[in-house]
Structure formats: structure tokens, C-alpha cells
């Protein structure tokens, strides 16, 4: 890995830092309370072309790979207090734009990417169902062959951006053989006949300015031209999206933790108790040190995962490790920041909002428990290979 600054990454970070004043919203506290997504701030991101970063230059993007995307989202996490807005962008980029760029045909890209780039369309990634979250094989939404395409029926739950989306990427079952190839991916506009989206966003503990809702598919017809990739390729497409999401979407929390650490250090320097600044008290100063250690460990794991995605074949465990470290660090650092700020941290504002926004991170994009199971399976496989290699010289 090369840790020297890449020109594209440095330019993205500098552009986002300059964009920060335009992303400041004095009404954020009220929007968070009312769970309101800001189309105005989304427009700021779109005018900066941040909503099409993975797309080619011909479509208004910068052909950003995983490392560039992670750097951009980390910078946004640090310089934009509306973490819900950044989360909405990250989900749109990782799970909607990237699959179209990486797996869509030239015709599909020519049709959809200009709409996204020029009209500021926002995407929703429809995969989760009531009984199919971590257990993707429990998915029941069906895409059945009908005429010149497919008929989709089913219900998707807890879908990020659903109430405000302009287009949907949906994963549906096209076979029932108990295989990874049972699923296919389709793209369709919000106004497709038979597609119904909940208007009222779900109430939730954090990321409240990200709109989340349900999508009902009632006899929705899609043509074969709306299928991304071959029939049965939905599993690999979804897996690639999740690896990118676990790496790049979670990079936004690195930026949040950087801002959080700065605020906590300032608080500890400025708050005097028992005749000395809080930072002079070892119990407090060690909290700051622990916050820094967690942040840097998570940042290194994210950099390694992004590098791995940009230099295939990717390490199958790198994105899971990064996601686990970032989610754990963001929650624990949020608790430490709250403790350092005391009563002022409990009051509504950036500190308490940071903690609430961190809490869901252990659930989405693969729960902590599921990803740890995944890592243990890989570890056991590695141990078996090592055992065989020791038993039979020359066998790897």
C-alpha cells in the first residue's frame, strides 16, 4: 500500500472542505427532530458532482475507485454536520450508482446516468425484507418471466432513501434452487406502475435526516433491458455493493469521529473542574487517547479495505474487518465524547446526535454478529489450509 496523498483524493478533500459553508444548516436540529431530508442540501452535493463520483468523466463523474470514494465520504463526514445527508449520499453511491457503473450495459448507463447526473436523481437500493435482512436467502420478492420481461411482486422494508428516491435498484428472486444465483437485479423509475412507496419516513433513533421507508411491488412490469447483468447475477452484484458499502459508506464515520475528537479535546481543554482543566485529569485524557487509537485503527483498516477493492482480487475479509472496527469505534467514541462533554453533551446538539447516528452502524450492511461469523468461517478455512501445509510439505 502507498500512503502518499493521491492527487485525485487530495483534490476531492480540498473541494469538500471548501463546500462546507454551503452544507451548514442552522435548521439541522429541527430537521433532525422532525426527520426531514433536505433536498436543498442534496442539490448542493449534486452541483458539486459528488452524487456521480464513480461514473466516468463523460457522465459527469470522476471514475472514483474505492479509495477515492472513501476519502470523499470521510471528508464529508468531518465537514458536514448533517450525517444523515452524507449517509443518504453514500447509500446512493455504493448501492445504486456503483452497480450501474460496474455491471450495467453501455445502453443502461447511457439511459440512466445522465438522469442522475443532470437531474440530481437519488437512488434507493431495495433488498431488505421483513424476514430477509442478514439472511438474503429468505428473500421472497419474486420476478417472474412475463411477456418481454418480468413481473415483480413483493415488499421491501427499511429502504434508505425510499420516500425521496427517483429510481430504484431492486433485487428479486428469479429462481428457487437454493443457490447464490437465484437472484437478479433490476432498475426502474419511481413512477413505474404498481410500485408504491411509503410517503411517511420511518421514525428511528439516529440518521433521522435520511429518509427510510418501505416499497411495495404489485405486479410491476420491467423489461429485460431493465435487468442489470445476466439473470442470476444479482447475488454477486449485491455482494460487490456490500463490500463497497462496508468500506466506503462507513468511511463517513471516520470523518464524524475526527470532528468529534476535536470537539472533545476543545471541551477538555476549556472546562475547568477542581482547579484544573479536564484534560489534566488522567481519567479524561485517557478517554481522548482511546478515542484517537480507535479512530486511527479504523482508518487504517478502511484504507486497507479500499486498497484491496481497487487492486483485485480483493481480500474477502478486509471490508468486513473495516466495517466492524469503524462501527465499534464510532459507538464507543460517541459514548466517550458524551462523558467528556457532561451535561452539555446530553442536550440536543452535535455530540448527542453523533452518538445516535452511530448506534445503527452495528446493524446495517451486515450485523456485527453476522460479519464475525463470516470472519470465523474464513479463519477456520485458513487454519485448515495451514494444517494441511504442515502435514504435507509442499502443499499450500
For the stretch 319-332, pLDDT in tens is: 999 999 999 999 99
Question: CATH 1.10.540.10: which residues of the chain?
Answer: 7-122
pLDDT of residue 7: 87
Other CB atoms within 10 Å distance of the CB of residue 51: 25
Q: Which CATH number fits domain 125-236: 2.40.110.10, 2.120.10.30, 3.40.50.2000, 3.90.660.10?
A: 2.40.110.10
CA distance 163 to 36: 11
The label of the residue with cell 504435507 reads 392
Other CB atoms within 10 Å distance of the CB of residue 259: 18
pLDDT of residue 327: 98
Please check whether residue 218 is in contact with residue 153, taking contact to mean a CB–CB distance below 8 angstroms.
Answer: yes
Nearest alpha carbon to residue 319 among 262, 218, 250, 392: 250
Phi, psi of 71 (to 5 degrees): -60, -45
Whether the per-residue pLDDT at 395 is higher than 60: the answer is no
Please check whether residue 192 is in contact with residue 220, taking contact to mean a CB–CB distance below 8 angstroms.
Answer: yes
The label of the residue with cell 463517513 reads 252
Cα maximum dimension of the chain: 79
Q: 202: buried, middle or exposed (CB in 10 Å: 19+, 13-18, 0-12)?
A: middle
Q: What is the C-alpha radius of gyration for the chain, rounded to an integer number of angstroms? A: 22
Read off the pLDDT of each residue in 252-262 and give the average, rounded to a whole number: 98
Whether the per-residue pLDDT at 396 is higher than 60: the answer is no
Strands 149-160 and 167-173: unpaired
Q: CA dist 84 to 66, 95, 136, Å?
A: 21, 16, 25
> Per the structure block, which three cell numbers stand in for 35?
426527520
Q: Which long-range contacts (CB under 8 A, 24 or more apart) does 46-51 make?
A: 46/120, 48/15, 48/16, 48/19, 49/117, 50/16, 50/76, 50/89, 51/89, 51/92, 51/93, 51/97, 51/116, 51/117, 51/120, 51/122
The angle formed by the CA atoms of residues 39, 43 and 46, to the nearest 5 degrees, is 135
Q: Residue 394's pLDDT band (boundaries 50, 70, 90)?
A: low
> Per the structure block, which three cell numbers stand in for 353?
446526535
Whether the per-residue pLDDT at 2 is higher than 90: the answer is no
Q: Which CATH number fits domain 7-122: 1.10.540.10, 3.40.50.1370, 2.60.120.10, 3.90.1150.10?
A: 1.10.540.10
Give the chain's mean pLDDT. 95
Question: CATH 2.40.110.10: which residues of the chain?
Answer: 125-236
CA distance 10 to 122: 26
Read off the pLDDT of each residue in 10-27 and give the average, rounded to a whole number: 96
Q: Residue 238's pLDDT band (boundaries 50, 70, 90)?
A: very high
Q: Residue 251's pLDDT band (boundaries 50, 70, 90)?
A: very high
Please check whether residue 330 is in contact with residue 297, taking contact to mean a CB–CB distance below 8 angstroms.
Answer: no
Question: CATH 1.20.140.10: which residues of the chain?
Answer: 250-391
Read off the pLDDT of each residue in 239-245 and give the average, rounded to a whole number: 96
At 98-133, the pLDDT tens digits run 999 999 999 999 999 999 999 999 999 999 999 988
Q: Residue 392's pLDDT band (boundaries 50, 70, 90)?
A: confident
Share of the chain above pLDDT 70, in %: 99
> Per the structure block, which three cell numbers stand in for 181?
444465483
pLDDT of residue 21: 97
Is 0.85 surpassed by the pTM of this model? yes
At 71-100, the pLDDT tens digits run 999 999 999 999 999 999 999 999 999 999
Read off the pLDDT of each residue in 342-362 and give the average, rounded to a whole number: 96
DSSP 6: P
Residues labelled catalytic = 245
CA distance 383 to 360: 33
CA distance 15 to 190: 31
Give me the numbers of helices (H) and strands (E) for the chain, helices first please.
14, 10
pLDDT of residue 239: 94
Read off the pLDDT of each residue in 307-327 and give the average, rounded to a whole number: 95
Q: CA dist 19 to 24, 46, 99, Å?
A: 9, 12, 27
At 141-185, the pLDDT tens digits run 999 999 999 999 999 999 999 999 999 999 999 999 988 899 999
Tell me if the domain spanning 250-391 has CATH number 1.20.140.10.
yes
pLDDT of residue 257: 98
Residues in CB range of 371: below 8 A, 6 or more apart: 320, 323, 324
Amino acid at each position: 500500500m502507498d500512503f502518499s496523498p493521491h492527487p485525485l483524493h487530495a483534490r476531492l478533500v480540498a473541494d469538500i472542505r471548501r463546500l462546507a459553508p454551503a452544507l451548514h444548516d442552522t435548521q439541522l436540529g429541527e430537521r433532525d427532530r422532525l426527520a426531514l431530508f433536505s433536498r436543498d442540501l442534496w442539490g448542493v452535493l449534486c452541483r458539486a458532482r459528488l452524487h456521480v463520483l464513480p461514473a466516468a468523466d463523460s457522465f459527469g463523474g470522476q471514475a472514483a475507485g474505492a479509495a477515492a470514494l472513501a476519502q470523499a465520504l470521510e471528508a464529508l463526514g468531518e465537514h458536514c454536520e448533517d450525517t444523515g445527508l452524507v449517509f443518504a449520499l453514500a447509500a446512493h453511491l455504493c448501492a445504486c450508482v456503483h452497480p450501474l457503473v460496474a455491471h450495467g450495459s453501455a445502453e443502461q448507463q447511457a439511459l440512466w446516468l445522465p438522469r442522475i447526473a443532470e437531474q440530481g436523481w437519488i437512488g434507493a437500493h431495495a433488498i431488505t425484507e421483513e424476514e430477509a435482512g442478514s439472511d438474503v436467502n429468505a428473500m421472497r420478492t419474486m420476478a417472474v418471466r412475463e411477456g418481454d420481461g418480468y413481473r415483480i411482486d413483493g415488499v421491501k422494508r427499511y429502504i434508505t432513501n425510499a420516500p425521496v428516491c427517483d429510481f430504484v435498484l431492486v433485487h428479486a428472486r428469479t429462481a428457487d434452487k437454493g443457490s447464490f444465483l437465484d437472484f437478479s437485479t433490476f432498475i426502474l423509475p419511481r413512477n413505474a406502475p404498481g410500485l408504491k412507496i411509503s410517503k411517511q419516513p420511518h421514525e428511528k433513533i439516529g440518521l433521522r435526516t435520511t429518509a427510510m421507508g418501505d416499497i411495495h411491488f404489485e405486479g410491476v412490469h420491467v423489461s429485460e433491458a431493465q435487468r442489470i447483468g445476466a439473470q442470476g447475477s444479482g447475488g454477486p452484484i449485491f455482494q460487490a455493493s456490500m463490500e463497497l458499502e462496508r468500506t466506503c459508506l462507513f468511511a463517513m464515520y471516520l470523518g464524524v469521529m475526527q470532528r468529534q475528537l476535536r470537539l472533545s479535546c476543545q471541551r477538555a481543554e476549556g472546562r475547568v473542574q477542581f482547579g484544573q482543566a479536564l484534560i489534566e485529569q488522567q481519567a479524561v485524557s485517557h478517554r481522548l487517547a482511546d478515542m484517537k487509537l480507535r479512530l486511527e485503527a479504523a482508518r487504517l483498516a478502511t484504507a486497507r479495505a479500499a486498497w484491496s477493492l481497487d487492486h483485485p482480487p480483493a481480500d474477502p475479509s478486509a471490508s468486513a474487518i473495516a466495517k466492524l472496527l469503524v462501527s465499534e469505534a464510532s459507538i464507543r467514541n460517541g459514548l466517550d465524547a458524551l462523558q467528556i462533554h457532561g451535561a452539555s453533551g446530553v442536550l440536543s446538539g452535535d455530540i448527542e446526535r453523533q452518538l445516535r447516528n452511530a448506534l445503527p452502524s452495528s446493524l446495517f450492511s451486515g450485523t456485527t454478529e453476522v460479519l464475525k461469523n463470516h470472519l470465523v468461517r474464513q479463519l477456520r478455512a485458513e487454519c485448515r489450509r495451514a494444517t494441511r501445509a504442515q502435514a504435507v510439505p509442499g502443499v499450500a
